Structure 1
């Protein structure tokens, strides 16, 4: 993700930083416009959701758009899901039906996440996982997630809020707003 972030910083002239550390209740005090997560366990994903819900209630800048983009993967499949942290005020549009709130991955797919918790899949943070995991699943998801962010930045909107990818049979299914 650091290489992709460096490319974005050069292109946009921004100074974004990736923080690679455990996300817990003290993390919510370091407010960011966009939170991007890729965790190894379902419980960690639910913990992030709780921290972000609490941050939404305590934020003094409630009109600042904030998003959570969650990445997850198994052996040869994965997903990217974009959510809003609370409601994000949308401009009036005659062309599109705007949506102020995109549910958290834990709300929309909570039951599936809990079922997947019993799967004995390798951790994406261990070197040995590369032997049991498709070599390009993480980088493919990262590129596609960045493409979604690019749409948001370039067009100010998106009709898709994520995707499901199966690299074994080369299928990708968009997750519509």
Structure 2
């Protein structure tokens, strides 16, 4: 009796056995990004304890901390008026003894023009709240893949997105990742960009109100208190699987926190 082989993605060796810390660009330091950064601190410390080189993170966000950010995002009253990226990175470096970097500019095409060296990292994590930002990140990654040397190309993109009480996390490869031969599994070298797979859905959501909130109460009308932290924990668990298991059978999930329901997305 024949059985269907399971499709899997084998993780690039640059994540599993790096000589130097794995470079990470975290784009967005808001409700989800601030919590993802905390998880990255914990992950890097844990990886280092297991004999791994750990992570080297650069956080990108040009926004300033306002009253509406307190409570739902990881900022304190004493940090009002500071750049989000600077406040979070300073806190992470003091806690973990790292030398991570903060960028107070947007990660967009206008910033990098034709020079994408500064934008490159092995792993890109986006926690942005606009359709345009996602499509610009996708274009930047394509340009870096075409123009960069092998050692300077991004390998993976993890995108976090959410509404009021729903959201999704998707893992993509930037180009194809070389896969070993396997008699047990069907290796999948390419995981499509979220903008290619769900681009039409994103375009339909362009009309959603993304006007900055004026208060915490106003912000909570747009996004529930725990949707960002729920996505951050589940999404970073996916990233942890990349480092620890060396292969994945699922590349993301949809989450409906209002109904306490999640739907995994298989590697196809």
How high is the TM-score relative to the length of structure 1? 0.91
The aligned residue for residue 28 of structure 1 is 116
- C-alpha displacement of 1:131: 4.0
**Rounded Cα–Cα distance in structure 2 between residues aligned with 1:82 and 1:24:** 20
The aligned residue for residue 40 of structure 1 is 129
**Rounded Cα–Cα distance in structure 2 between residues aligned with 1:172 and 1:161:** 13
Counterpart of 2:246 (choices 156, 161, 170) is: 156
- C-alpha displacement of 1:75: 0.3
Q: Residue 59 of structure 2 aligns to a residue in which SS?
A: coil
Residue 254 of structure 2 corresponds to residue 172 of structure 1: no
Q: Residue 50 of structure 1 aligns to a residue in which SS?
A: helix
Counterpart of 1:19 (choices 38, 59, 65) is: 59
In the alignment, structure 2 segments of 5+ residues that lack a partner are: 1-35, 49-53, 62-105
Corresponding pairs, count: 176
Residue 226 of structure 2 corresponds to residue 136 of structure 1: yes
Deviation string, structure 1 residues 6-44 (Cα, Å, up to 9, x no partner): 111211122422412321232832321110001111011
Q: Residue 264 of structure 2 aligns to a residue in which SS?
A: strand
Identify the range of structure 1 (26-35 vs 42-51) with the bigger mean alpha-carbon deviation: 26-35
The aligned residue for residue 172 of structure 2 is 83
- CA contact 1:36–1:69 (8 Å) conserved in 2: yes
- C-alpha displacement of 1:62: 6.3
Compared CA separation, residues 111 and 123, structure 1 to 2 (3 A): farther
Q: Residue 134 of structure 1 aligns to a residue in which SS?
A: coil
**Rounded Cα–Cα distance in structure 1 between residues aligned with 2:158 and 2:202:** 16
Greater RCO structure (CA 8 Å; 6+ sep)? 2
Q: How do residues 68-107 of structure 1 correspond to structure 2 at under 5 angstroms? A: 68-107=157-196
- C-alpha displacement of 1:103: 0.6
**Rounded Cα–Cα distance in structure 2 between residues aligned with 1:90 and 1:15:** 23
Max Rg structure: 2
Identify the range of structure 1 (153-162 vs 63-72) with the bigger mean alpha-carbon deviation: 63-72
Q: How do residues 54-65 of structure 1 correspond to structure 2 at under 5 angstroms? A: 54-61=143-150
Deviation string, structure 1 residues 88-111 (Cα, Å, up to 9, x no partner): 111111111111111100000000
In the alignment, structure 1 segments of 5+ residues that lack a partner are: none
- CA contact 1:145–1:162 (8 Å) conserved in 2: yes
Compared CA separation, residues 11 and 62, structure 1 to 2 (3 A): closer
**Rounded Cα–Cα distance in structure 1 between residues aligned with 2:165 and 2:210:** 10
**Rounded Cα–Cα distance in structure 1 between residues aligned with 2:58 and 2:256:** 27
